[in-house]
Structure 1
Amino acid sequence: MKSVITIALLLCVGSLGAAEKLKFVPLFNGKDLTGWTGEGYEVKDGAIVCTPQGKNLMTEAIYANYVLDFEFKLPPGGNNGLGIHYSGTGNPAYTGMEIQVLDDTAEKYKDLKDYQFHGSIYTMVPAKKGHLKPVGEWNLQRVTVNGDEIKVELNGTVITEAKLSELRKKFPKHEGAKRNSGHITFCGHGDAVAYRALKICELSPHANVTGAVEAGFRPLFDGRTLKGFKVPEGGEEHWIPINGILKYDGKNKDLWTEKNYKDFTLAFDWRWTMPGPIKKRPILGADGNPTGEQVDVQELDSGIYVRGSSKSQVNLWNWPVGSGEVYGYRTDGKQSAEVRAGVTPKVKADHPIGDWNRMLISVKGETLNVSLNGKEVIIDAKLPGMNAEGPIGFQHHHAAIDFANVYIRED
């Protein structure tokens, strides 16, 4: 598997080549708070407005790499904030990172610390001052959160730039700085700060396209269309290609390739985009058998069907055993103990919910290898009776999931 892991690293580095113009989608419909959860905010004249009871209002969805555009208007002395990478619990300034939204011209704020001015990353990074419009006017702000990069542009001027890697070194105890994804949140203080025209452009993780081609891979997903896939009825509204990401909302059916494959290596990125309900799931031993102990997890489930069969599915899920398991073989009592142990992950290598993961699936004959985030989780597992060839499927199992940088090499 060493050569496979080398490919995984190759596809994870570098930057995207020249791309089509990126597309934004609304984050707020201008009518109600659909897609948001929290308290103390109302919709007024097409804007989200914080009320005197306003606390935190966060997106239901989880975001990783993106560009967020919005307009905001401050009342005199108004104070709010934009939380990024928020965990969903606790104070967004510390379990996420808070970008200040503040009328820092108010007399009561004359003694602010440098990291408290508008656009600063609270407690960590000061912003350039003097680019707010007068109180009561609408300001335009763009926030870019892309891998290591955080950037804030206010009315056309870059006022804040930071790198997560540097913040983690400088502020090792800051929990929010350790995160790579989370909810987007408004952090209320009871002031009537208003937001409108919110739109977001989600970005796929970087990939070295040239390196992938040189390694013998070709795109299975072109990043723009569903070309090459058998789209289920109504699937165009649920399997959505945008900005190099294949977004699935968990509300349709499986998506299959038109082509059949025999031996291949499939490389792709994936991540969960919505939290799941809490359920108890079993802890497994190395032999693939339940230990009798169960733990609470967020129920998130999907997978990759290999050679046209749901039985030979490489699971993507949030179970204690970790992604990479072949559930159909592990739970088949007719299989040998060796087979069942072989399809049980050697280690749980999943990144936190919301973060991007990179997986490689290698199939040769009846032998399966899987690496996840650079770790070998399935090694030379045997899948007796597996189809000799068949299509590849992206499983529908009700969970919202993103796929990106999907490449295949026929071996």
Structure 2
Amino acid sequence: MKLIKTLIVAGLCSQLSLAEEGFIELFNGKDLTGWQGEGYEVKDGAIYCTPKGKNLMTAKEYSNYVLDFEFKLPPGGNNGLGIHYPGKGDAAYVGLELQILDDTAKKYAKLKDSQYHGGIYQLQAAKRGHLKPVGEWNKQRVIVNGNHVTIELNGVVINDANLDELAEKFPKHKGVKRRSGFVTFCGHGDPVGFRNIKIKDTTLPEVDLTGFSAMYDGKSLAGWKQDPGHEGHWQPRGEVLYYDSQSKAKDKNLWTEKSYKDFTMVFDWRWADYANARRLDRPVLDPATGEAKKDANGKAITKNVIELDSGIYMRGNNRSQVNLWNWPCGSGEVYGYRTNRNFSQEIRAALTPKVPADNPIGAWNRMAITLKGDRLTVVLNGKTVIENAQLPGVPAEGPIALQHHGSALEFKKLYIKEL
């Protein structure tokens, strides 16, 4: 058996290079290399639609990704972002068209709700009121994950759609059933401008699950300790196990009923409902030492990030926790050991992620945790971030917990194999 394959996030991403994030540029700022179509021109480092402009699409097809771009609307400007476009036909119907529109223009006063900016054309309306004034550059992020599409405009989530649900609601719409295709700008002859276009492929690596057992059945919390205070907060939502961060239980973590010794646990996870998360300065760690990097004056280097925090408790112990968070070091750190100076620097450094491997906030991540004896290995999105690191004194056996630390998040495809 095999595992099938914001907003405020701009401040975090701007502090990392494209190479570190895994983004690639789709537009070189000079010409239309890598694009197919006619009726667009490049000037002043941006792509503009001309009066003859229709569809301008990428050379490559995509399925799971995060797309960032900036756009500028002229008065009454109309364009669109086509996703899952097969290359021919009207992108709004054979794929999906995410509206790019001057909502303030009088000629658009009587449109359907789904036709305004950020709407999935004819399918789902977006929140309005977050466009900058006409003539100013807007920042937009589109996150596409299988059946899920999220649109963030200037730091606000304006649309969040489940395509499977929309397909049931609109059974005659062909495009809503597609899950891959070209990324396309859908011109209507207006001089809408685009720049700083970049994309990150977030297709998750496959994992061989031979010998694994499901930890979540997609219907209930069977196999997990069900404290009455968890009800309505740790929520089975079909494939997804959702946590709203508001459990009323004394112990807000969700623990397995079973205890485990040596195991490999594989699961997908992503942050949810993070629009109001606070920002904090967090240290930039040196993987070689496990300590914060210092500037020329000996002061710890920090980055201001959106504070999102959770983790996986292993063997019933809150010290042996694999962190899920968006600190500069990335997920996978074992904070309870890394910060404990009773352990040698060699031990603490080994429990510091080698590289940050998290996908952007809102996209799914895939993590594999292997604990054998007192040795830990963590693989995140196909990258080994912790390798055979020692956890001195870790209990020999105990339950596993999905940890509460005040952040809403989602889990799916949770599997475990005892070793």
TM-score (normalised: structure 1) = 0.58
1:170–1:408 CA distance, 2 compared to 1 (3 A): farther
Which one of 153, 158, 168 corresponds to residue 173 of structure 2?
Answer: 158
Give 1:178 shift.
3.4
1:238–1:370 CA distance, 2 compared to 1 (3 A): same
Which one of 107, 121, 128 corresponds to residue 97 of structure 2?
Answer: 121
RMSD: 4.4
Identity, % of aligned positions: 41
Question: What does 1:259-278 correspond to in 2, within 5 Å?
Answer: 259-275=258-274, 276-278=277-279
Counterpart of 1:250 in structure 2 is 245
**CA deviation digits over 1:258-278, x for unaligned, max 9?**
110000000000000122211
- 1:284 equivalenced with 2:285 (yes/no): yes
Q: Secondary structure at the match of 1:158?
A: coil
One-letter code aligned to 2:291: N
Contact kept? 1:92, 1:98, Cα under 8 Å: no
One-letter code aligned to 2:290: G
Counterpart of 2:130 in structure 1 is none
Structure 2 residue runs of 5 or longer lacking an equivalent are 6-64, 84-88, 101-109, 116-120, 125-143, 150-162, 188-193, 294-299
Q: Aligned partners of 2:186, 2:382: CA distance in 1, in Å?
A: 27
Give 1:99 shift.
7.7
Q: Aligned partners of 2:380, 2:409: CA distance in 1, in Å?
A: 16
Q: Aligned partners of 1:279, 1:138: CA distance in 2, in Å?
A: 36
Q: Aligned partners of 2:347, 2:391: CA distance in 1, in Å?
A: 7
1:148–1:365 CA distance, 2 compared to 1 (3 A): same
Counterpart of 2:183 in structure 1 is 167
Q: Secondary structure at the match of 2:182?
A: helix
Question: What does 1:185-204 correspond to in 2, within 5 Å?
Answer: none
1:295–1:350 CA distance, 2 compared to 1 (3 A): same
Q: Secondary structure at the match of 1:237?
A: coil
Give 1:166 shift.
2.2
- 1:230 equivalenced with 2:225 (yes/no): yes
Counterpart of 1:46 in structure 2 is none
Question: What does 1:136-155 correspond to in 2, within 5 Å?
Answer: 142=123, 147=146
One-letter code aligned to 1:272: W
Give 1:281 shift.
0.4
TM-score (normalised: structure 2) = 0.57
Counterpart of 2:372 in structure 1 is 364
One-letter code aligned to 1:289: E
Q: Aligned partners of 1:325, 1:178: CA distance in 2, in Å?
A: 27
Contact kept? 2:315, 2:400, Cα under 8 Å: yes
One-letter code aligned to 1:167: V
**CA deviation digits over 1:14-34, x for unaligned, max 9?**
xxxxxxxxxxxxxxxxxxxxx
**CA deviation digits over 1:201-254, x for unaligned, max 9?**
xxxx99989x63xx1000011111001111233202100011111100111210
**CA deviation digits over 1:163-187, x for unaligned, max 9?**
555227999x777883789xxxxxx
1:384–1:178 CA distance, 2 compared to 1 (3 A): same
- 1:11 equivalenced with 2:3 (yes/no): yes
Counterpart of 1:336 in structure 2 is 344
Question: What does 1:214-225 correspond to in 2, within 5 Å?
Answer: 215-225=210-220
Q: Aligned partners of 1:403, 1:325: CA distance in 2, in Å?
A: 19
Q: Secondary structure at the match of 2:337?
A: helix
Structure 1 residue runs of 5 or longer lacking an equivalent are 1-6, 14-84, 101-112, 125-133, 182-204
Q: Aligned partners of 2:235, 2:302: CA distance in 1, in Å?
A: 35
Q: Aligned partners of 2:417, 2:198: CA distance in 1, in Å?
A: 37
1:168–1:359 CA distance, 2 compared to 1 (3 A): farther
Q: Aligned partners of 1:270, 1:262: CA distance in 2, in Å?
A: 23
Give 1:90 shift.
6.6
1:342–1:168 CA distance, 2 compared to 1 (3 A): farther
Counterpart of 2:318 in structure 1 is 310
Contact kept? 2:82, 2:186, Cα under 8 Å: no
One-letter code aligned to 1:288: G
Between the two proteins, the alignment pairs up a number of residues equal to: 282
Give 1:338 shift.
1.0
One-letter code aligned to 1:121: E
Question: What does 1:205-216 correspond to in 2, within 5 Å?
Answer: 212=209, 215-216=210-211
